[in-house]
Amino acid sequence: MPHPAMSPDNVAVITGGASGIGLAAAMRFAALGMKVCIADIGADRLKDAATRLSSLAPGGAANVMSATVDVRRADDVAELETVVRQKFGGTDILMNNAGIQPGSRMFGPLENWQRILGVNLWGIIHGSQVFAPHMIERGRPGLIINTGSKQGITTPPGDPAYNVSKAGVKAFTEALQHELRNTPDCQISAHLFIPGFVFTGLTARPQRKARRRLDGRADRRLHGQKRRGWRFLHPVPGQRRAASARRAAHPVGGL
């Protein structure tokens, strides 16, 4: 059964929505008859993505909006929430998906670490802190979906800043879900989304092949076999073991 938030005329906001997983999710939401806002950087990319979404949305361009947003900046994210509320009335699904992986070294440039953590971790913190209170106020079922990575769990060698950012996303999402389920009258839940390997612009660089092999071996050691496909992971209630957090639910195949 689809989550009730995934219903026609409900509103989905996706950061990093101009390409890759974000755009695939936006296309699925649009095909369901939802109103969709994609936030990203790059005006041309956003324009092209919005055109594709408009062709899928039953309501056409009127049910699609795009916004240039740097998720590292809390003010940008706050402005995004405001314009979505003004145009569509509020948000039912927030997908904090913006992410980068330029590569990193333990003793590499500080600016590189700050940029990776700024987008991958602070972007999710900003999105959740800005959107969640308004989503709760709506009094409707809703979802906050934070895109993590198996590298935040297996932490293979070779890209420490990315691993740290995605491990932080996992910890933050679990804490967020704990907060939401203990908030009176709250119908919002938080979910950690762990993609398997997906061919996108983020993964296209040749230098990542060796890291994928290392990651795959670590993943097989952890799970017993190489996992394929995409899943939502239910957050861990209380002090359940971390293995429980990896039990998959709500498959999202076909995005």
- 93-96 and 11-15 as β-strands: parallel, antiparallel, unpaired? parallel
Q: Which two tokens stand for residue 248?
A: 């998959």
Contact 91, 141 (CB under 8 A): no
Q: What's the distance, Cα to Cα, between the start and end of the chain in Å?
A: 17
Catalytic residues: 162
Which residues are CB-neighbours of 81 under 8 A, at least 6 positions away?
13, 91, 130, 131, 134
Q: Can you tell me the distance from the alpha carbon of 233 to that of 117, in angstroms, rounded to the nearest whole number? A: 22
Q: Can you tell me the distance from the alpha carbon of 152 to that of 147, in angstroms, rounded to the nearest whole number? A: 11
Neighbours of 237 (CB within 10 A): 12
Residue type for position 185: D
Query: Distance from CA of residue 13 to its chain's centroid?
Result: 10
3-state secondary structure of 9: coil
Name the strands in the sheet holding 142-147, side by side, starting at the edge strand that comes first in the sequence. Answer: 64-68, 35-40, 11-15, 93-96, 142-147, 188-195, 230-233, 248-249
Query: Distance from CA of residue 176 to its chain's centroid?
Result: 14
Q: Can you tell me the distance from the alpha carbon of 201 to that of 22, in angstroms, rounded to the nearest whole number? A: 12
